[in-house]
Amino acid sequence: MRRRSNPIAVSLLAVLTLASGGCVTASTSGTPPVSAGPGTTQSAGGPVVTIGRRAQSAVEGLVVGAAIGAQAGPIGAAVGAGTFLIYGALTGHSPLDGRSGGGGLGGYGAQTTEARREAALEEQIEQEVARGDALEDEIAAELERQERLLQQIDAEESAAKQAQANQGSVEPAAVASPAPSDADLSERADPRVAPAAPRERKLPLAIFDKEEVTIVAGAWGDNKKMHVLRRTLDADQDGKPEQIRYYDDSGEMIRKEQDQDYDGAIDTWSVYRQGSLRERTLDSNDDRVPDVWETYANGTMTSREVDRDFDGVRDAFYTFQGDSLVQERHDANNDGKMDLIVLYENRMRTRVEEDRDKNGAIDMWTRYQVVGEEEIVATIEKDETGDGKINIIETFTPLNGQPVIAKREEDKNGDGTVDVTSFYKNGKLQRREIADPNMVPL
């Protein structure tokens, strides 16, 4: 017959186990507490235990003892609660805080270890982030240093030119370039003004690395190979040059490649003839594919072609004469046929041609008149039937700076003559004349 466990013995065994650091074979005799001053006790070699700590441990021991003793019934719960309460009051240790050497109940020691490990990982991550931030700061500082160097070079060259002008002219002020006026700045921002060629930054050749290279035939659109001197500038020392210049045998620069946004990829290609910029190609969206093509003459842009939707097809074309825009053409659906053409004279719009249904044929023509400084619609001609013939002509008159319809002519039967003419006053129909009796009633 199996002997039933004594709840009191079980509770005492639990007390002994906790007091000895979790070992049930520990001796019941312990080292007597050592006095550490009023209201405190200290075990030999252990920490100081305050009265508040003993009270807290007694309460926690009461709860844990009751939970353990409850397995043997009400009497066991009472005995366990009392035993653990006394243990906590005497030792200042609680089975909940893991100070007894066995890690306590509930795996507190394991949790502490995991917390330390997570803290170490977080610290390591923070260190990596800090190193990355430091690297970015170094790169930014290097680029800023490079820009300051270039500005210093410009300032020195400007000062040298000014000093030379002061020595050789009685009117040195005429040499210095005056600050641009508001009108100049406004004109530069006007898209109908031909842009000037980008200003060339003069850099001392000593800061470039140089080597002789051979350009294979066709690489630059030429039908013969070329022997050139290549000069490269890698200011941030990342192994990717920000600028590459090519010089012919006479020492004249014939080509320049640039990384203008310092992302490590060339995004601007310029071609020179006799020291002047003639062509420039750009990758404006950093997808490694050119999307802007420009030509220049005498320091001014003559044409600009753009791939606006970055699909590899040029769809906008601008033509300049002198210092002004004279024509722009657009191919919105990339079918190779223009669906919008705008013509200018003296930077004012004079005529617009449109293919409204995008079928490859122009079907509306708009003419403008200049009233003061405004462009006002004068006439609109339409091909409403799609047969290539104009069958509607609308004439407008300016009213308070806005175009108002004055007359509408219609070829109803497509024979090339006007059948119906409508007259308007202040935009309202006044009368209608019908040339073909067959059109009555309308």
Position 180 scores a pLDDT of: 55
Is the pLDDT score of 2 beyond 80?
no
Q: Mean pLDDT, the chain, as a whole number?
A: 77
> 3-class secondary structure for the chain?
CCCCCCHHHHHHHHHHHHHCCCCCCCCCCCCCCEECCCCEEECCCCCEEEHHHHHHHHHHHHHHHHHHHHHHCHHHHHHHHHHHHHHHHHHCCCCCCCCCCCCCCCCHHHHHHHHHHHHHHHHHHHHHHHHHHHHHHHHHHHHHHHHHHHHHHHHHHHHHHHHHHHHHCCCHHHCCCCCCCHHHHHHHHCCCECCECCCCCCCCHHHCEEEEEEECCCCCCCCCCEEEEEEEECCCCCCCCCEEEEECCCCCEEEEEECCCCCCCCCEEEEEECCEEEEEEECCCCCCCCCEEEEEECCEEEEEEECCCCCCCCCEEEEEECCEEEEEEECCCCCCCCCEEEEEECCEEEEEEECCCCCCCCCEEEEEEEECCEEEEEEEEECCCCCCCCCEEEEEEEECCEEEEEEEEECCCCCCCCCEEEEEECCEEEEEEECCHHHCCC
- Higher pLDDT: 329 or 75? It is 329
Is the pLDDT score of 31 beyond 80?
no
pLDDT band at residue 335 under the 50/70/90 scheme: very high
- Higher pLDDT: 437 or 19? It is 437
Is the pLDDT score of 256 beyond 60?
yes
In the chain, the percentage of residues whose pLDDT exceeds 90 is 45
Is the pLDDT score of 10 beyond 90?
no
In the chain, the percentage of residues whose pLDDT exceeds 70 is 60
Mean of pLDDT values over 266-273:
96
Is the pLDDT score of 377 beyond 60?
yes
Position 90 scores a pLDDT of: 67
Residues 199-254 have pLDDT tens digits of: 888 888 888 999 999 999 988 887 888 999 999 999 888 889 999 999 999 999 99
pLDDT band at residue 52 under the 50/70/90 scheme: low
Domain segments of the chain as ranges:
7-106
Mean of pLDDT values over 405-423:
93
pLDDT band at residue 441 under the 50/70/90 scheme: low
Residues 378-388 have pLDDT tens digits of: 999 999 999 99
Residues 309-328 have pLDDT tens digits of: 999 999 999 999 999 999 99
Q: Among the listed ranges 144-158, 292-306, 359-373, which one has the minimum average pLDDT value?
A: 144-158
pLDDT band at residue 337 under the 50/70/90 scheme: very high
Mean of pLDDT values over 50-75:
68
Position 199 scores a pLDDT of: 87
Position 270 scores a pLDDT of: 96
Position 44 scores a pLDDT of: 43
Mean of pLDDT values over 292-304:
96
- Higher pLDDT: 220 or 96? It is 220
- Higher pLDDT: 93 or 418? It is 418
Tell me the pTM.
0.58
Position 168 scores a pLDDT of: 45
- Higher pLDDT: 73 or 317? It is 317
Position 108 scores a pLDDT of: 45
Is the pLDDT score of 373 beyond 50?
yes
